[in-house]
Structure 1
Amino acid sequence: MTFFESISTVFRKYADFSGHASRSEYWWFVLFSFITTAILGSLNLTSSEGTLDLGTSLSTAWSLALLLPQLAVTVRRLRDTGRDWTNMFWILVPLAGVIVLVIYLTQPSIPERMTANP
């Protein structure tokens, strides 16, 4: 799956928590999210009173808009590796949880016949 196909697929399945997401679909979308958030966060408008930090507002709004599709594609990716959606709670454990979740998300897909939750 290419970069643009991944973005299109994730936005088409905006709130679809069923099915599976390939590694490329997930990680291309993570890259897209990171790049767009960083670009929006770096925008600044200069006014006569000083600098107005429009970038933070845009970046925050964009991150909130991406929250639901990011959660959905993460659940689909976990399902593709044969894990349940509850593994997302690893993110709540400082540092070690992030490492565990990244390891889960980078593992190869398991064929559907072996998956416990279709």
Structure 2
Amino acid sequence: MDNSSPQVRIWQVVSLVPAGAVVTYGQVARMAGLPQHARMVGSVLRQLPRGTNIPWHRVINSQGRISFPAGSAQYQRQQALLLEEGIEFIGDRVPLRRFQWQGGFEN
């Protein structure tokens, strides 16, 4: 990755995730050159400007779950966006073996 700020590197990685795929917070952190900083990814994504084109909704936790509280408006919005892209849920989980993006430059 480049020498950009951690925030910019996280945005760059998330921007690469194609429709119909998901990544985990930890995976984004590793791909951005920030191993062990999954929580930072969450913090950066929470601060995205309104109306951003960065597909934040494609980032989920390592268990394949949406991190917002179940039933909350944010949870429902993220789930709806993922469903629109063809992501399937088994209960409250996305089957990562099927939908997790492997990316082109993760170590």
Q: TM-score range by the shorter chain?
A: 0.3 to 0.5
Higher share of residues assigned helix: 1
Larger radius of gyration: 1
Between 1 and 2, higher relative CO (CA 8 Å, sep ≥ 6) is seen in: 2
Q: Normalising by structure 1, what TM-score?
A: 0.36
